[in-house]
Structure formats: structure tokens, C-alpha cells
């Protein structure tokens, strides 16, 4: 049982639910949000996570999942359960639409041949056929209106009504024309309908000239609407036919309602599944929004999170185009409590809430925003103490409410509990709050509970350093810029930077010095050591970042080399195959010539010995040629890791060979002007900022750019290049491959801007395109197209000049 009762608000899970509700298509799906519960049964959690994972894959890789007409037909089914009541046309129409959607889902999953087993298992035990749909189709058209031929009797009555209405309209039109000629009728008003009857718009002063029944008059009283007496009998017959039509309509609707009534229990089960599919679909869409995935699951308590993000914070940062720093953390049997210290506003509480929210989401069946090779275990309960729980009604101070929470922690926490305590020990005199917090932490340690606490208290940092099962952690801080880096590092405590931050805020130095003297030399030296340690950790962190970037770049170069190597091998195979074919053709032609020569020799009656020698010599040459063709084998090009590129310290001048940062193509400088350079890449001439150029060694057997090199068909590329790429309907991986190649070509061709048409749909292709554009060093900016030209279904891309 999670603690406290408002834990979802404490962790921010209530906001996740709001996002989920907005993604649901129907109230049926939203009903499942109220049923979300924290679960500790591994099998149940695993099943729900697999369902979400399958649906996420389905949305990203498949044709659109049926997402229309998730009609909430529950009220109509309840109405149909009552004898002698009948469903109206639009109510029947909604039942038909909902059942059609459910059948489309069934066929969609069945057509995938077991590709999504967890989703398909939701259909087990259900009876689904189109009998109800076919029955409704017989009486309603596609817009949900009763067909005129819904029954033979209705068809007969409908025909008579049409005939009678035509007869009445002709009769009243004749009267209208005659009365208009006589000046009895109002201008600009034709034959009207009042009380279901056709009437004439008669001027009030002439109403005595028209024999008939007055049905209405205009607001001004100047026009009177009269039904001519000549039409009375016909209108009465029409009214009788309309009553007969209504009676037959009610009979038809009652009949089909009676047919549906026995099927209601099965329809309700199908409807319940339709709502469940809506709910899981919404979870998958939220996972895509949050870039969430399924980690490795474990039945036992513990967690290893790699590159974990607070999902709500990341969504907010992405919207504001800001960077979110991920965290990595581990809790296990050996190190089951982490004590995080560091400066205020440094990210301690965010780290704590990130772990708590992701663990809570996972055990509620949600995919979470961390690397898929993270490993997350199951906890029996989660207990948190975050924020101010002061209660005036219950006469509780902030510290008293914290103590009550700590009592619950101490009473109920065990080895299967995850607890989270923010600003541990604060709210009272630090002289007493610190030791009390240490005592509580020792008790939780003895109970083998897993947890994360944040603190500024030195005694808790010391306790974590000397106690088995605990580990210190700190939030990195840039000492030079005096600002937090929001990076969590395990293993060492952090300084609160109280005096440094006080100085940055502008507080008088003599006040700060006075405070330092009050702290004492011993404590100040400890804090100074922590500051120095923090600097060293910052340097190590910077080195790790640089190493990681170089490793990534090396890996990309390796992949490019392997691709080029494979293309080279395939090219060589093709060339040798073509050479063989040409050689065999030569052999065949040579054979023909030999035979022709021999015939000519015979015809000239040459000496037999001469014939024999000539034949032998020719056959020997042909045999050698055949042998060459048949035994030629393709020598595989051995894979060698590319040697580390030597730094070339050449000068940037006309004639120098250069590369544009982030690219592998080598060009030659044709012209230099201020901070711009004209560079030739084959036939292509482009102007590039000198800051982006890197001077490299001349390529082997390089020719001057002034003589146009052959083999690179840039002219053809420029001739056929289009400034728009349409990837609508393309699967994610293929779309990204097309996009990368297209943007490379566009940049090399000197294009300033292009249009990427990805459509709207679920917004998945748009998200993939935008994420790639963020990482490309070719792109200056991007934006939605004008609304009349496609809006957010088209992304305008602008290249760096």
C-alpha cells in the first residue's frame, strides 16, 4: 500500500493521468484511468507493460490502428434492456459504429498473425460477429436515417406519401401562381410550411379572398399563412399516411431492439474491450510523447536506471526547447540507500522524484523514460515524505507531520519497501534534527529497506560514508560559473555551497566571514575539502563527456567504413561478373573466327601440316582465355579498422584541401574572401564560413579542383533535386534513412531551405523528424509551414549558410 494517500500528487502521477485522459478517444477509455492502481504482482505488471510495449510498436511501425467511432453506447444498451422500449435511429447507428470499430480491431490483429500476442489475448473468450451490424444495415442508411424500404409496408407507405406530397405541391403551386397574379400574396415569400402543412403567404388585407384555414401570421401581422380549402382533403390523407409511417417505423425499431436485447451481454463485453484498447492506445501514445520504453523487469526489489528522465520535466523542457539532464542510479542489496547532498536548486529533489515517479509508473503498468537495458524490480510498497504536510485543522506543524511520516516508515518499511525522503531532518533545530534523522536512517538500514534521501546535514553524509548498505551521492556544481549542472554522481557527498552562493547573491563579505568563523575551523575545512572534491569531479565529468563524444564519432566512422567496404566488395563482384561475361563473349566470337579461318584455309587447299599447326595455336590461345575467365575469383577486401586520423596543421589558403565539420567529403578551396571560402566538391561550388572548415591532407592522386573531376554526377543530382521530401506513409526507420540522405544532398547542393511533408496523423513521423533535426549540425532552424500550406503536417528546414 503506497504511503501517503496523496502519493500520486506528491510524485506528479496525477499529471500523468491528465495527459493520459487527453489521449483517450472516449469516456470508455477514460473510465480505466480511475481504475489504475499500484501493483506488486510481477506477472500482472509484466502483462500490462507488454501490452503497452506492443501497442507502441504497432503505432510506430504499422498502418493506422482503427481510431474512429469509439462510441460510448452504454446508455443505449441500458435503454434497450427495458421491455416495450425501442432504440431510435441514431442510437442504433452508434451501436453499429462501435461494433464496426471493434470488428476492425479484431481483423487488424488477426491479420498480423500473432505479431502482438498480448493485445490479441484481450480478444480471448469473446464472441464477435457482424449479425447485429447486418440487421441495422438493412433498416438504416450510412448516415443513420431509416431507409424508405426498411420493410415492405414502409416502402408502400413511403411511395404513397411521395405521390400525395407531389400532388399537393402541384395543386398549391397552381393556387399560388393565380393568387400572385391577383396581387394577394406577399413578395419574396414562396410556398411555406406551417404545422406540417403547405400554406400560402397571403397579405393581411386580402386574407378574405383566399378560402382556407389560417395557420399562422408574421411578426408584423402583415402576412397571414393560409392553407387553401382545396388542399384540406389531400393534406388530411397525407397526415393519415404520415401516422401510418410513424406506426410502421416504431414497429421496425421495436423489432430490431427486441433482436438486439438477447445480445446485450456480449455487446457489453465487446464494448468493455473497446474501451480497454482505447486506454492502452492512450498509454502507448503517452509513452511515445515521453520517449518511454520497457526496461528489463525483475521479480525482486532493486533498480538500475540508466539515463532516466523525469517525464513531465522533459516534456516541459522539450516544449521550451531546453535540454534535460538524465540520471543513472542503482539500488541493490549491497547499496540499498542513497544519501544525496549538494547545493539548493541543484536537482536533488528532482532526482528523488524522478526515481519515485518512474517506479510508481512502472508498477501501474506504464512504460518509463529510461534506457531499455535498465533493470527495474518490484517493490511491495512505496513510501514518500516530500513537501510540506502542515495541517491547521489537525494542529500539526510541518515537523510534526514529518515525524508522523517517519513513524509510519519505521513501523511498516522492510526489505521490499522503497522510501523517499526529501530534505531529511529539516524543520527543527539542526542540533537535534540531525541526530534524530540519523537514528531513523539507521533503523531503516537495519530493516534493509531501499531508499533515497536528500539532505544538507553533515552527520548524515558521514553516516552514509561509514555505514554498510549506504552510499553517498552528490549533484555536480560548476564552481567557476557558480551554477548547478544537475548531474548526479554516486560515491561521494557534495557541498551545499552556502557561503559561495551567499557571495554570488551579493551578500556583504564581512557578514559571510562572520558566519564562517561561527562554523568553526574543522567544519569549514571539511566543506572546503568537499568543494575541492567537487571541482575534481567536475573535471572528471568533463573528460567523460569528451571521451563519450569521441567514442560516438569513432563508432560512426567505423560504421561508414564498413558500409563503404561492403559497397566496394559488391562493386568489385559486379565488375568481375561483367568482365567474365565480356570475356566469354570474346571467346565465343573467337571460336567463330577460328572456324571461318579453317574453312578459308581448306578452300585454298593449304598444306595439312599448316592447317594442323594453325588449329593447335588458336585452340591453345582460346583455352588460356577460357581458363582465365573460369578461374577468376573475387578477392575479399579484408576489413581493417581505420587508422587514427593524423592532425594536419596546413594553412587555409587557395588550393588547400578541406572538410566541412561533420562531413566526410573532401573539397578544395578556390577563393578566399574575408571569413568566407568558395570550396569545390567535384562539380559543386559552394560558399562556406571558414570557421566550419578543417584543413586536411591532400587525398591520394588528388587533382586540382580547377580541372573538373569525373565520376561524381553532381550536375545530374542538381538537375533532378527537388526542394520537397514526402515521407507520408513511410515506416519510421525508412523515413529517417530517406531524410538523412536527402538533407545531406540538399546541403551539398547549397540549398537554403527544404520542405519535409510528414502529415499529421498521430504526430509520430513529425516527432521523429524534429528529433533528428535537433541533432543535425547542418540545420540552422526549422518550423511549421503556414497553416494554409499544410501547418504542422509540414516542417520547413533552413540550412546553415
What is the Cα–Cα distance from 602 to 594, expressed in whole angstroms?
12
Residue position matching grid coordinates 510541518: 398
Positive or negative: CA dihedral 348, 350, 351, 356: positive
SS3 call for 65: coil
What is the Cα–Cα distance from 271 to 788, expressed in whole angstroms?
39
| Sequence-distant (≥ 6) Cβ neighbours of residue 632 within 8 angstroms | 576, 579, 580
Q: What is the mean pLDDT of each run of 10 residues along the chain (801 residues)?
A: 91 96 95 94 96 95 89 92 92 94 93 92 86 93 93 94 90 87 84 83 86 84 87 88 94 94 92 95 96 95 96 93 92 94 84 96 97 95 81 56 90 95 82 89 96 91 92 82 80 76 77 74 53 59 69 76 76 68 65 64 59 60 51 41 49 84 75 81 71 80 43 57 85 85 81 87 83 86 84 88 67
Positive or negative: CA dihedral 116, 122, 125, 131: negative
Reference 477, options 308, 340, 329, 330; nearest CA is: 340
What is the Cα–Cα distance from 259 to 549, expressed in whole angstroms?
69
Q: DSSP class of residue 293? A: B
- Which contacts qualify for 118-124: CB closer than 8 Å, 24 or more apart? 118/47, 118/50, 118/51, 118/54, 119/51, 119/54, 119/55, 119/58, 119/277, 119/280, 122/51, 122/273, 122/276, 122/277, 123/273
How is domain 296-519 classified at the CATH fold level? Answer: Rossmann fold (3.40.50)
SS3 call for 213: strand
- Which contacts qualify for 698-702: CB closer than 8 Å, 24 or more apart? 698/657, 699/657, 699/666, 702/657, 702/668
CATH placement of domain 42-192+228-285: 1.10.1420
Q: What angle do CA 765, 771, 774 make, to 5 degrees?
A: 140
CATH architecture of structural domain 645-713: Roll (2.30)
Output the pLDDT for position 159.
93
What is the Cα–Cα distance from 562 to 400, expressed in whole angstroms?
65
Domains 645-713 and 721-801 are alike in CATH topology: no
Reference 72, options 29, 28, 20; nearest CA is: 28
> Furthest-apart CA pair in the chain: how many Å?
137
3-state DSSP helix/strand/coil % of the chain, to nearest 5? 55, 15, 30
| Sequence-distant (≥ 6) Cβ neighbours of residue 597 within 8 angstroms | 614, 618
Domain ranges of the chain: 42-192+228-285, 296-519, 546-631, 645-713, 721-801
What is the Cα–Cα distance from 295 to 799, expressed in whole angstroms?
37
Q: DSSP class of residue 247? A: H
- For 471, phi then psi, to 5°, come to -145, 135
What is the Cα–Cα distance from 393 to 135, expressed in whole angstroms?
62
Give the pairing of strands 753-757 and 779-784. unpaired
What is the Cα–Cα distance from 306 to 374, expressed in whole angstroms?
5
What is the Cα–Cα distance from 497 to 62, expressed in whole angstroms?
52
Give the pairing of strands 303-308 and 375-376. antiparallel
Output the pLDDT for position 586.
65
What is the Cα–Cα distance from 269 to 123, expressed in whole angstroms?
10
What is the Cα–Cα distance from 230 to 9, expressed in whole angstroms?
75
What is the Cα–Cα distance from 123 to 114, expressed in whole angstroms?
12
Strand partners, 779: 799
Backbone torsion region of residue 619, taken as left when φ is above 0, otherwise alpha when ψ lies between -120 and 50, otherwise beta: alpha
What is the Cα–Cα distance from 467 to 489, expressed in whole angstroms?
19
Output the pLDDT for position 574.
72
Reference 41, options 408, 416, 455; nearest CA is: 416
Strand partners, 475: 488
Strand ranges across the sheet with 212-217? 192-194, 197-203, 223-228, 212-217
How is domain 721-801 classified at the CATH fold level? Answer: Ribosomal Protein S8; Chain: A, domain 1 (3.30.1370)
What is the Cα–Cα distance from 762 to 225, expressed in whole angstroms?
55
Strand ranges across the sheet with 779-784? 724-726, 753-757, 794-799, 779-784
Is 666 within 8 Å of 684 (Cβ atoms)?
Answer: no
| Sequence-distant (≥ 6) Cβ neighbours of residue 547 within 8 angstroms | none
Give the pairing of strands 470-478 and 450-454. unpaired
Q: DSSP class of residue 122? A: G
Q: What angle do CA 173, 178, 183 make, to 5 degrees?
A: 120
Strand partners, 227: 213
Output the pLDDT for position 638.
42
What is the Cα–Cα distance from 18 to 253, expressed in whole angstroms?
40
* H/E element, 473: strand 470-478
- The grid cell for 348 is 536533488
Strand partners, 698: none
Residue position matching grid coordinates 548526479: 488
What is the Cα–Cα distance from 406 to 399, expressed in whole angstroms?
10
List pLDDT tens digits, range 131-181: 899 999 999 999 999 999 999 999 999 999 999 989 988 988 898 888 888
Reference 752, options 797, 701, 690; nearest CA is: 797
Is 634 within 8 Å of 580 (Cβ atoms)?
Answer: no
C-alpha radius of gyration, the chain, whole number:
41
Reference 584, options 621, 629, 634; nearest CA is: 629
Reference 274, options 20, 21, 17, 24; nearest CA is: 24
Amino acid at each position: 500500500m503506497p504511503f501517503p494517500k496523496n502519493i500520486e500528487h506528491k510524485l506528479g502521477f496525477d499529471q500523468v493521468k491528465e495527459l493520459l485522459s487527453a489521449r483517450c478517444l472516449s469516456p470508455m477509455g477514460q473510465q480505466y484511468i480511475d481504475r489504475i492502481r499500484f501493483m506488486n504482482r510481477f506477472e500482472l505488471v509484466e502483462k500490462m507493460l507488454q501490452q503497452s510495449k506492443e501497442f507502441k510498436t504497432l503505432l510506430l511501425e504499422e498502418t493506422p490502428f482503427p481510431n474512429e467511432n469509439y462510441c460510448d453506447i452504454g446508455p443505449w444498451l441500458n435503454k434497450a434492456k427495458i421491455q416495450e422500449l425501442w432504440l431510435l435511429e441514431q442510437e442504433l447507428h452508434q451501436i453499429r459504429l462501435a461494433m464496426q470499430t471493434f470488428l476492425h480491431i479484431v481483423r487488424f490483429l488477426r491479420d498480423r498473425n500473432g505479431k502482438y500476442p498480448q493485445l490479441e489475448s484481450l480478444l480471448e473468450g469473446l464472441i464477435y460477429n457482424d449479425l447485429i451490424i447486418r440487421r441495422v444495415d438493412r433498416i438504416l442508411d450510412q448516415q443513420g436515417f431509416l431507409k424508405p424500404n426498411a420493410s415492405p409496408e414502409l416502402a408502400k407507405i413511403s411511395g404513397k406519401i411521395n405521390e400525395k406530397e407531389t400532388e399537393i405541391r402541384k395543386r398549391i403551386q397552381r393556387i399560388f401562381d393565380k393568387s400572385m397574379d391577383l396581387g394577394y400574396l406577399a413578395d419574396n415569400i414562396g410556398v411555406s410550411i406551417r404545422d406540417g402543412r403547405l400554406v400560402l403567404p397571403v397579405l393581411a388585407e386580402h386574407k378574405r379572398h383566399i378560402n382556407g384555414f389560417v395557420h399562422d401570421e408574421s411578426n408584423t401581422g402583415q402576412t397571414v399563412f393560409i392553407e387553401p380549402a382545396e388542399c384540406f382533403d389531400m393534406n388530411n390523407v397525407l397526415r393519415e399516411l404520415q401516422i401510418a409511417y410513424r406506426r410502421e417505423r416504431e414497429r421496425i425499431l421495436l423489432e430490431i431492439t427486441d433482436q438486439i436485447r438477447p445480445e446485450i451481454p456480449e455487446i457489453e463485453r465487446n464494448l468493455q474491450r473497446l474501451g480497454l484498447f482505447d486506454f492502452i492506445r492512450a498509454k502507448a501514445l503517452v509513452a511515445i510523447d515521453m520517449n518511454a520504453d520497457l526496461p528489463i523487469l525483475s521479480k525482486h526489489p532493486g533498480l538500475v536506471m540508466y539515463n532516466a528522465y523525469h517525464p513531465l520535466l522533459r516534456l516541459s523542457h522539450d516544449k521550451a526547447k531546453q535540454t534535460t539532464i538524465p540520471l543513472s542510479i542503482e539500488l541493490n542489496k549491497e547499496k540499498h540507500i542513497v544519501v544525496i547532498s549538494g547545493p539548493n536548486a541543484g536537482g536533488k529533489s528532482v532526482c528523488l522524484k524522478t526515481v519515485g515517479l518512474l517506479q510508481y509508473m512502472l508498477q501501474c503498468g506504464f512504460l518509463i523514460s529510461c534506457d531499455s537495458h535498465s533493470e527495474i524490480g518490484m517493490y511491495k510498497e512505496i513510501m514518500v515524505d516530500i513537501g510540506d504536510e502542515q495541517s491547521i485543522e489537525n494542529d500539526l506543524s510541518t515537523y510534526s507531520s514529518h515525524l508522523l511520516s517517519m513513524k509510519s516508515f519505521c513501523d511498516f518499511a522492510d526489505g521490499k519497501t522503497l522510501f523517499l525522503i526529501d530534505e531529511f531532518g529539516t524543520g527543527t533545530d539542526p542540533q537535534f534534527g540531525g541526530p534524530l534523522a540519523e537514528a531513523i536512517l539507521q533503523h531503516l538500514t537495519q530493516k534493509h529497506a531501499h531508499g533515497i534521501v536528500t539532505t544538507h546535514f553533515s552527520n548524515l553524509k558521514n553516516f552514509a560514508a561509514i555505514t554498510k548498505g549506504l552510499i553517498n551521492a552528490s549533484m555536480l556544481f560548476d564552481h567557476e560559473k557558480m551554477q548547478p549542472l544537475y548531474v548526479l554522481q554516486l560515491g561521494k557527498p557534495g557541498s551545499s555551497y552556502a557561503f559561495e552562493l551567499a557571495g554570488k547573491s551579493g551578500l556583504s563579505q564581512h557578514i559571510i566571514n562572520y558566519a564562517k568563523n561561527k562554523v568553526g575551523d574543522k567544519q569549514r575545512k571539511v566543506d572546503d575539502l568537499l568543494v575541492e572534491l567537487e571541482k575534481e569531479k567536475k573535471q572528471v565529468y568533463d573528460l567523460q563527456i569528451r571521451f563519450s563524444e569521441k567514442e560516438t564519432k569513432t563508432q560512426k566512422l567505423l560504421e561508414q567504413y564498413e558500409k563503404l567496404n561492403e559497397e566496394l566488395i559488391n562493386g568489385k563482384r559486379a565488375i568481375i561478373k561483367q568482365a567474365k561475361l565480356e570475356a566469354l563473349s570474346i571467346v565465343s566470337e573467337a571460336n567463330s573466327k577460328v572456324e571461318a579461318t579453317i574453312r578459308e584455309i581448306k578452300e585454298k587447299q593449304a598444306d595439312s601440316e599448316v592447317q594442323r599447326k594453325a588449329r593447335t595455336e588458336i585452340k591453345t590461345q582460346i583455352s588460356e582465355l577460357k581458363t582465365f575467365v573460369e578461374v577468376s575469383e573475387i578477392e575479399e577486401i579484408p576489413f581493417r579498422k581505420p587508422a587514427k586520423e593524423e592532425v594536419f596543421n596546413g594553412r587555409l589558403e587557395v588550393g588547400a584541401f578541406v572538410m566541412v565539420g561533420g562531413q566526410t567529403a573532401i573539397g578544395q578551396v578556390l577563393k578566399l574572401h574575408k571569413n568566407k571560402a568558395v570550396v569545390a566538391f567535384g562539380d559543386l561550388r559552394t560558399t562556406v564560413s571558414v570557421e566550419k572548415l578543417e584543413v586536411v591532407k591532400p587525398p591520394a592522386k588528388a587533382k586540382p579542383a580547377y580541372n573538373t573531376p569525373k565520376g561524381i554526377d553532381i550536375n545530374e543530382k542538381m538537375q533532378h533535386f527537388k526542394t520537397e521530401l514526402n515521407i507520408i506513409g513511410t515506416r519510421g526507420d525508412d523515413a529517417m534513412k530517406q531524410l538523412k540522405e536527402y538533407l545531406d544532398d540538399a546541403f551539398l547542393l547549397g540549398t537554403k531551405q527544404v520542405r519535409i511533408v510528414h502529415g499529421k496523423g498521430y504526430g509520430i513521423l513529425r516527432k521523429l523528424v524534429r528529433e533528428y533535426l535537433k541533432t543535425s549540425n547542418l540545420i540552422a532552424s526549422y518550423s511549421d509551414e503556414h497553416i494554409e500550406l499544410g501547418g504542422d503536417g509540414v516542417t520547413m528546414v533552413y540550412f546553415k549558410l
